[in-house]
Amino acid sequence: MVKRLFDIAVAAIGIIVCAPLLVVAAVAVKLQDGGPILHRGERIGRGGKPFRMLKFRTMVPDAERRGASSTADDDPRITRIGRWLRRAKLDELPQLVNVLAGDMSFVGPRPQVPWAVALYTEEEKHLLSVRPGMTDYASIRFSNEGEILKGSADPDGEYLRIIAPEKIRLGLRYVENHSVMTDLRILLATARVVAGADPEKVLALPAGSGNGARKRPGARSMTSLRTPTELQVGKNVERIFLECADPVEVRLENFPKYVRRQHLKRFLAMYEVMKLVLPVKGSIVECGVYRGFGLMTWAKLSAILEPENLTRRVYGFDTFEGFPAVSQQDTGRRATPMRGDLHADSYDELLKLIKEYDADRFLGHLPKVELVRGDIAQTVPAFLAAHPHLVVSLLFLDCDLYESTKAALEHFLSRMPKGAVLAFDELDNPQWPGETLAAMEAVGLRALRLRRLEWDPYIAYAVLE
């Protein structure tokens, strides 16, 4: 009730105070090309109810028939006046009317187009339990959304891949924890960002909780080119899996029915890398465990292919709290990662799974898999001090970031004999330049005979010579 009264009062005052500016903007839009002043885009509101969200029209009159619903800064449909309105964030002012009418609130998850809401999981539908807002955590985090999408041939696909998962995560965090004080902090932070402040510094954005910011099992790039139709396939398979009457264990035993080809290919690629490691003495080190796809793949392949190799350990390094820090070298073409991104609270679950893994393998009474929790730049030196005997036969780097990748290379490379395998997951990836820069500085690309599997474009590996 307090939130609604606040919305009504402030929206009414805002319309009165901003009336001269609204009139000037409306006249400018009309004089630009004689088309409609307002764009009335269909959005989905609280309870799944559709409504028309008002904005000053910033694009040519028939824009919806001429392109995607996601808009990059270089979209040719944007008019000259529209570009100025977008840059000044004035195109959103008519939404004061939506707030006054009760379709929206000042603060809440941004309203989405129907096709995007149709892709929501049951969990994500909780976003529809509150009124959508003019601003929220995600509006601050992605205040440069148009810049992120700039140059994309498929803005809707890029939006779904890069922006939507994090928007959903932040939206769910707001739904779970919103309060009057939270709304006031977000409004103040939004005003500062509009005035030119750094989004990362004006407000501590919530770290991940597994509710969004999704990454594919093992690494992120495998979903990078998915279209909305392909994303819907994942939702459909999930529904079929949940509807199956078989016990879950039986469904897991028949996993090829449900697992998509991209993830099967990922597993097979790791199998090929593992075969290179079998004759090499030393343990396996994975930096960047995330949800554990890679870690448990190495562990299970070792149990299958070399059940008596009791000295080969599998060590997994991760904060399990998202990125510990981000450096200038990590700024990519499509997005700028932030501290706390790609959080996966999988540590406790992995400990339980490792226990069951040990119970189901030969020599299971001897430890095989160890998790090392914390910032890699700090945990690796301490780990090596406690494990002076360590020899590394496979170093698999999936940190994504510059500092962590460089620290791992600097500390582990000297412990890798000839024939050991050094593997990367994000080399030559414009979204994650930090990994390439770290490799160039720590080892030098000319020193590596980098290879890839013919049927997998992501994993790069080198057998040390």
What's 196's DSSP letter? Answer: T
Contact 112, 120 (CB under 8 A): no
Ramachandran class of 463: left when φ > 0, alpha when ψ lies in -120 to 50, beta otherwise: beta
- Alpha helix locations (H) across 118-260? 137-141, 145-148, 155-158, 164-177, 180-194, 199-202, 228-243, 248-253
- Quick one: pLDDT at residue 214? 37
Q: Which two tokens stand for residue 139?
A: 């509006």
Residues of the chain with pLDDT under 70: 67, 200, 202-228, 231, 332-336
Helices (H), 244-397: 248-253, 261-277, 293-305, 347-359, 376-386
Token digits of residue 215: 């990454």
The pLDDT of residue 220 is 36
Q: Are 284 and 303 within 8 A, CB to CB?
A: no
| CA–CA separation, 290 and 208 (whole Å) | 12
Q: Are strands 314-318 and 105-107 parallel, antiparallel or unpaired?
A: unpaired
For the 231-463 domain, the top CATH level (class) is alpha beta
Determine the pLDDT at residue 423.
98
What is the pLDDT, as a whole number, of residue 222?
Answer: 31
pLDDT for res 332: 67
Task: Pull the structure tokens for residue 10.
Answer: 């402030």
**Amino acid 206: pLDDT:** 61
Q: Where in the chain are all domains bearing CATH 3.40.50.150?
A: 231-463
Residue tagged 């090596």 (tokens) = 384
- How many distinct helices (H) and strands (E) make up the chain? 19, 10
| Entry pTM | 0.59
pLDDT at 203: 67
Tell me if 85 sits within 8 A of 56, measured CB to CB: yes
